[in-house]
Structure 1
Amino acid sequence: MSPNLQWIEEPTLLVTRFEYANLFHTFTDWYSAYVASRVIGLPNRPHLVFVDGHCMTSLEETWKALFSSLRYAKNFSGPVCFRHAILSPLGYETPLFKGLSETINCHGALAPDLWQHPDDQKTARLSEFGEMIKASFGFPVHRHHTEKPSSGHNVLFVRREDYLAHPRHHGKVESRLSNEQEVFDALKNWVSNHKECKINLVNGLFAHMSMKEQVRAIQDASVIIGAHGAGLTHIVSAMPKTVVLEIISSEYKRPHFELIAQWKGLEYHAINLEGSFASTPVVIDRLNGIMKSFRC
């Protein structure tokens, strides 16, 4: 036996990250690691070892918040043996990703509801994952919207900045909503003139917010609206009564967030565009209809 052999006694998940700098794909890896720990029956948040060759990104801070510890296999200086190693499935093998190509007929519910009323067509797994994220950042779990907030209803507009695509997409600048600022300004004007309910329009510039600030904005929202994009993956941490309104460019008609809403048990609406330009009256009309269902 090598004198430099290192034994790791605690149960450890071995993780291979996919698209490690992309929020949506990193969510699939977080979810895969979480589900693997639940299926194996680990009592606490597991320790992780990255076995890929990727470098560090800003998303590592959330990995560290969600799990007990984080190490890189490439940084081990000698041979390592694990007493209890678990291979975490690849993120793109999870339902969050496979729903693109397969029909997964399952709807979300709260864990306490399923304990009292078992139903094999319903799942609480994604809601539990969202609660794990909230707990990791110190937010309460099992909280519900039971009455109108005293400060009014928050409508969170998840912003999406134009970005330079991955080289495999020819490096072109991509936009999912070409008149996003116009839509936001129209919503701001509508909110200022809305008399039926007190509404707070929240400017969700997630690219400039810490992960904790992003999660706080999601859990405090009564309605989440935004163009199809990675920021909407945060609806896994939304409250049970939250309503999602997705604006979908004709080039990005993918079911990611409709499926997440379904598996969370959230009310979901979509505005499908011809191209990437949204009619502001249409957006306001849809949001106005949604707000009428809330207690004022």
Structure 2
Amino acid sequence: MRKKQTNRQKIFICLLVFLMLVVYICFIKSASIFRQVTTKKTQLKERTELDINSWFDDIYATCEGNVVAYGHEFFILKNVRLEQTNSLLFAVPCRSVDSKPYFFYSGYEGTPMTEWMLSITRRKDSEELIKVEYTFTVAIKRTEAHNIYHTLTEWFNIFVLSKHFKFNPQKVDVIFLDDRPPGAMDETWHTLYRRVYYAKNLPEPTVFKTLILSPIGYESPLRLPFLKKVEGIEEFSDYFLQGFGINERKKLNCARLRVVIIWRHDYNSHPERAEAGGTIFRKIQNEAEVLQQLKDSLPGHEIIDILLENMGMKQQLQLMAHTDVLIGMHGAGNAHALFLPSHAVLLELFPLDSPYDKIQYFRAFCLWRNLTYVSWQNEDKNNDLPNYYTFVPPTVIDTYIKSIYKGLCS
């Protein structure tokens, strides 16, 4: 009897929670200024051309200019009160609303823009302002915050915004609209921008004079590997290095090449990696043999092997800006092709089962920067080993590195 009563209580509590959730959602929707904001799927990844200026076309402005959307990609809020309790809440002064339907483009991974715009409410003119933030602020929802490639897509988006709206990235604030745990990329966020903090850590509701809701990294041009070119990529590369005090890159010296090979090891650097047990895909099984072969094939040259997780970002960038040949199994570390000297070569290695035709991001980086890109993919099933290891034949390394040297120095 007592067990049945307990079950009834559990059912009652579940129903009560459900009803409260429904009421809350209905309240938020009814309070929202915008009712007809939707998402439209795009097939951006297959595109070969993209005019980044299209981000700033088709301007939709309402609420006396306090809400301005651009190119169906992102929007800006003026005089907006932001607070985060259980969810993000935006409130802007608004006497008149353009009620026409509006949509945001979304790739395969979705976009938060629709949800954010639907959460905008009216701010009362008479409300007391507790805190006003006058600094130009960029709000962003990070995706894979521990991954340098995915984070580069977010940094590039902010750079694109800075060029169009003519603000200095180093003098803006960045506010995270997510709850990602601390990670290795945090150092770089704090280096590139004036101040970086979480919306969830705001001590009180804050009014921002200008708040840009930046496109997420998944919607970045750097995520479109079939583009023939990306405007501003070289300028972004220089800006990024200069942010760390690096103003020069290595000149080609065929008497002393620097070859850097990136290893990939299992590791736990943050809670999200721990969920996967720290397992890393695409690892080289015979590291010592590969390293020795590089030294034998290029005697008298500088051969360096590294684990990126053991290096700070500035140390990584200083090394990459002075590297002639970068070698690595496919992985986020190869995004450092963005910072190599203009004559450099990227040699990217793939295991047997990698869908090479679908993961050409770093080939694209080299194309956009006019670097040389070379790839090798294992074709022998006996060389693909348990725990995501690949045996790379020393003869492959010898053949490829000698060919690369000849291409650079003949």
Tell me which interval the TM-score lies in, with the shorter structure as reference length.
0.7 to 0.9
Unpaired segments of 5 or more residues in structure 1?
107-122
2:265 is equivalent to residue 161 of structure 1: yes
Structure 1 SS opposite 2:150: helix
How large is the RMSD of aligned CA atoms in angstroms? 2.5
Q: What whole-Å deviation, never above 9, does each CA across 1:254-285 have from its counterpart, x for those lacking one?
A: 11110111112111100111343322111221
Task: Give the structure 1 partner of residue 247 of structure 2.
Answer: 140
Q: Does 1:174 align with 2:280?
A: yes
The answer for the alignment partner of 1:40 in structure 2 is: 165
Correspondent of 2:146 among 8, 12, 21 = 21
Q: Indicate the SS of the match to 2:367.
A: helix
Decide whether the 8 Å contact of 2:138 with 2:214 is kept in 1.
Answer: yes
Residues 208, 168 of structure 1: CA spacing in aligned structure 2 closer, same or farther, 3 A cutoff?
closer
Q: Where does residue 189 of structure 1 map in the other structure?
A: 296
User: Separation in 1 of the partners of 2:234 and 2:224?
Assistant: 18
Give, in whole Å, the separation in 2 of the partners of 1:43 and 1:29: 16
Structure 2 letter corresponding to 1:221: T
Letter in 2 for 1:178: I
> Equivalent residue of 1:81, what SS?
strand
- Residue 119 of structure 1 is matched in structure 2 by none
Q: Which residue of 1 aligns with 2:373?
A: 268
Preserved contact between residue 224 and residue 244 of structure 1 (Cα < 8 Å): yes
Which AA in structure 1 matches 2:181?
Answer: C
CA distance, structure 1, for counterparts of residue 353 and residue 158 of structure 2: 31
Deviations 1:81-103 (A, max 9, x none): 1111111110011122233xxx3
Query: Which residue in 2 is equivalent to 1:207?
Result: 309
Match of 1:113 in 2: none
Secondary structure of the residue aligned to 1:148 is: coil
Which secondary structure state, in structure 2, belongs to the residue aligned with residue 32 of structure 1? helix
User: Distance in 1 between the 2:284 and 2:236 partners?
Assistant: 33
Q: In the alignment, does 2:197 pair up with 1:93? A: no
- With normalisation by structure 2, the TM-score equals 0.60
Find the residue that maps to 1:292 and give its secondary structure: helix
Tell me how far apart the structure 2 counterparts of residues 44 and 51 of structure 1 sit (CA, whole Å).
18
Q: 371, 378, 392: which is aligned to 1:278?
A: 392
Deviation (angstroms), 1:129:
1.6
What displacement does 1:144 show?
6.3
Query: Hey, what's the Cα distance between the residues in 2 that align with 1:156 and 1:167?
Result: 25
Q: What residue identity is the alignment partner of 2:293?
A: A
Q: Does the 8 Å contact 1:130/1:238 carry over to 2?
A: no
Task: Report the Cα distance in structure 1 between the residues aligned to 2:207 and 2:295, rounded to whole angstroms.
Answer: 57
Greater RCO structure (CA 8 Å; 6+ sep): 1
Alignment of 1:226-237 (within 5 A): 226-237=328-339
Q: Closer, same or farther in 2 for the Cα pair 1:188/1:86, shift >3 Å? A: same
Is residue 156 of structure 2 the alignment partner of residue 51 of structure 1? no
- Number of positions where the alignment pairs a residue of Structure 1 with one of Structure 2: 269
Match runs of 1:235-246 below 5 Å: 235-246=337-348
1:288 alignment partner in structure 2: 402
Q: Tell me, in whole angstroms, the C-alpha distance in 2 between the residues paired with 1:144 and 1:190.
A: 22
In 2, Cα distance between equivalents of 1:2 and 1:61: 37
**Counterparts of 1:168 and 1:214, CA distance in 2:** 24
SS of residue matched to 1:293: helix
Q: Which amino acid aligns with 2:374?
A: H
Query: Structure 1 256/168 Cα, relative in aligned 2: closer, same or farther at 3 Å?
Result: farther
Measured in 2, the distance between the counterparts of 1:269 and 1:3 equals 61
> Does the CA contact (< 8 Å) of 2:250 and 2:322 recur in 1?
no
Q: CA deviation at 1:203?
A: 1.5
Instruction: Give, in whole Å, the separation in 1 of the partners of 2:263 and 2:215.
Output: 31
